[in-house]
Structure 1
Amino acid sequence: MSPEPPLIGIVEDDAIMGESLVQSLTLEGYAVHWWQDGASAMGEIETLRPDLVVCDIRLPDADGQTVFKTACNAGGKAPFLFITAYGDIDQAVGLMRAGAGDYLTKPFAMEDFLNRTRQLLDSGQRDQAEGVLGISRPMLELEALLRRLAQRPSSVLIAGETGAGKEVCARFLHTNNPRKDAPFMAVNCAAIPDNLLESEIFGHERGAFTGASGRHLGYAERARGGVLFLDQIGELPLPLQAKLLRILEERRFTRLGGEQSLTFEARLICATNADLYQAVRDGRFREDLYYRINVVSIEVPPLRDRPEDISWLMQRFFAEFTASMGVELRGIGSLAEEVALAHDWPGNVRELRNRVERGVALALGDMLMPADLFPEYRGASDETAAIASLAEVREAAERRQIERALAETQGQMQAAARLLGVSRTTLWEKLRRYGLTAGLTD
C-alpha cells in the first residue's frame, strides 16, 4: 500500500488564487483542503492536522497571524507558508521569527511556490520532533537528549539557574514516556519547612505527631508509577537524604509513624540551581546520594546564552496570555523585541514569561512596546534619554546578529552579508563601526 500524500491546507479568500493553488498542488500529487476564510480554518485545523499550511496574511474575517497562533496553541507543528503583499512584509518576517516557515510576496511564480512548498514539507518531516522547548541549537540538542532519556527508567539530575526551565524539562521527560498518564508529583524542597517535609514526601500515619489526625499519603506514594520530581534537592535536610537514599537502593519506604513497608514505583527526577558537588565537599549533601540521583545529568542553559529563543518564547507567551485574558493586541513591536534581546534576563524564562504577562495585561496601545515589558522606562524624566537608550539597544542587537552571522560563516564577509540580507559594502561599514574587522576573509 502506497503512503498517503502530504495534506496541505490553504487559507485564501481570493477565488482565482485559491483555485490556482489547489490545481497546482493537486497536480503535484498532494492532498489539498481549501478554506476561504479564517474562521473555517481555525475551526478545523486542529482536527485535520495538515502537514503544511499556505495562508494569506490578509483575510476577510481575520489575519494570518491569528490563524497561525490558533494552530500553534492547538499543538500543531505544521510549517506555515504565508502569502503577503509588499506592504505586509514586516509582519511576515515577524511571523517567521515566531516560528512560521516562510513567506512569498505577490505576485510570485508558481514554480517558486512549489519549490518553497517542497522545502517546507521536507523540513517539517525532519524537524517534527524538535522545537518544543526552544529553537536554539542548545535547546534542540537538549530536547533530543530528553526524548532518548524518556524511554529509560534512570534517575535524572537537572541543573540550571533559577527560572531556566528545569521543571519544564522534567515534565517534558514525563510526557514523552510510555507511562505519561501516570501522576507527575512536584515537590519544592526549599518551599516546605523542614519539620513538614518528611511527612509531605513520605506521608504519615494517624498519631505520628501532634496534629496528625489521620493518615496522609505522601508524594512518593501518590506518584505511583509516574514521576516524583524533587526541585531544589540541595535543600533537602541530611536526615531526609538518608531516607531518600533508601528509596533509591531498596525501592521501598515507610510512612512517618508507620510500620508497613511500601513499594516506591515512581521514577525520581531531581533539579538544582546549586553546585551539588561543592555541597558534597562541604558536607551538606551525601556523596552516596549524589551519585544515586546523578545517574544522568543534564544542564539547562540560561536564557542569555540562547538568544534565538527569546523572540520565539515571547511570541508563545504573547499568544497564550492574549488568548487567556481576552486581550486584543496586534502583536509585539520590533523595539520591544530589541530591548528584550539586549536584556540579560537574570530571572531567565520565568522572568520573560512574567514580563510578557504583565505587558499584555497593562499594555497602553495595540502593540506590546518596550515600556510594557520594562515599566522602568516609563519613569524616565528625560524623554530624549529614553529614545537614546532604545537606539543603543538597536545597535547592540544589530552587533550581536552580525557576530552570529560571522561565527556561522567562519568570518567570510560575502557569506555573512548574504545571511544578513545586506550588501558587502553595508556590512563592511557596520563592521568598521563596531570594531569587528579582525580575522575576516573575502
Structure 2
Amino acid sequence: MSAPQLLVSRPPAPQTVPAQSLPVRTAEAAYNSGEHSSSGLATAGFRTAKYLLEEWRQSGLTSCYQAHSDRHTAQQLRHQARESAAETQARAQRSQEDSTRKLGERLLDLHYWRAELEREVRELSAETRTLLQEKDRLERALHATELPYSIATDNLQCRERRIGGELVRDGAEIELLREVELIRNVQELLKRTLEQTIEQIRLNRDAKGKLEMDWSDKVEAYDIDTQCGRYNNQSTDIQFHPNSAKFEDNTSTPESWAQHSHENIYKAERERMASINLRSLIDSILQDTAEDLRSQCDAVNSALAQRCEEVEDVKRKLEDHLSKTLKEIGDQENNIAALKQAIKDKEAPMKVAQTRLYQRSYRPNVELCRDPVQFRLISEVGELSESVEILKQKLEEAEQSLRNLEDTRMSLEKDIANKANTLFIEREKCMSHRTRYPVVMKLTGYQ
C-alpha cells in the first residue's frame, strides 16, 4: 500500500495552546513499534497507516483549541468593529457639525461684507445721483453765461456806433471789457470743473461696478453656502463627487478674501469722499462766479448810468449854450442890419458934403478961397469917411462873429445830436438790454 494521507487542519493559531499536527505514519513505522504491535502475515492488512490513540486525542484537543481561538478572535473583531463604527460615526457627526458650524460662521462673514457692500453701493449711488445733479447745475450755469457774454459783447458793439468825439474809452467801456474777460474766465473755469465732474462720475461708476460685482459674487456664494448648510444625511439631492475634495488653483485665502472687499469698499469710500469734496467745490465755484458776475454787472450798470448822467449833463449845458448862441445869432444879425443901415445913413451926409465941396470948387477967381467953410466941409467928408470905415470894420467883425456863431451853433447842434445818439445807445441799447441779465439763482444753475 502507499503511504497514508495527512489530516488537514487550520493553520496554527498564536493563542494559548499551539496546534500540533499529527505525525506521518509510514509503512515502516508501523512494524513492531509498541506494546500492542502485532506481527505476522495474518494481521498484515490491518496494521498499516494507523494513528495512535494519543495522537487522535491530541488532534481533538487541537481542534477545540483552534475553534476556541477563532471564536475569541471573532468576538474581539466584532467588539473592535462596533467600537470603530461608533467612533467613526461620532467623528463623522462631529466633523459634519463642525463643518456646519463653520459654514454658519462663513455665512455670518458673508452677510457682514454683503451688508457693507450694499451700504456702500447705496451711499455711492446716492452720491453719484447728487453729483449728477451738480453736473446739471454746472451745465445750466455754463449755458446761463452765454446771455451775459452776448449782452456784454453787444453793448461793446453798440457803443462802437457812437459818433465823433463821443467814441471815447470811458469807464463804462473799461468795465464792459472787464466783464467780457470775467465771463470768459468763468466759462473756462466751469468747463474745467465740468470735465472734472464727468471724470469723477466715471470713477464713481467704476467703483460702484466693482462693489456690485463683489456683492453679486457674495450673494451667489451666500446662496451656495446656505444650500450647503441645509444638506444633511437625509437629504435626497446628495451624491458622490470623488474629485471634489481638493483646492482649486485660483482659490483665495480668508485674509485675501476679506482684503479684497475691504479694498473695494475703501476705494469706493475714497471716491465718494472725493465726490463730496468736488460737490462742495462746485457749489463754492458757482456761488463765487455768480456773485462775481452780478457784481461786475452792477459795476457796468453803475458806470453806464454815471456815463449817461455825465452825457446828459453835458447835453443840457450844450443845449443851454445853443439857446444862448441862437439868441446871440439873432442879436448879431440885428446888429449887422443896424450897421448896414448906419453905413447907408452916412451916404446922404456924404453926398451933401461932397456936393457942397464940388459946387464950391466952381467959385470964380479969388472967390476960390480956403475959408473956414472949406476946411469944415473937407473935415466933414473926412469924418464921414472915417465913420463909414469904422462902421464897415464893425460890420466885418459882426459878420465874422455871426459866422463864428453859426459854426458854433452847428458844432453845438452836432455835439448835442451825438450826445443824444450816445444817450440812445447807452439807455435804449445797452441799459435796456442789460435788464435781461440773469439773476444769481440762474447763474448758479438752479433754474
TM-score, normalised relative to structure 2: 0.16
User: Highest CA radius of gyration, 1 or 2?
Assistant: 2
RCO (CA 8 Å, sep 6+): is it higher in 1 or 2? 2
Tell me which protein shows more strand as a share of its residues: 1
> TM-score, with normalisation over the residues of structure 1?
0.17
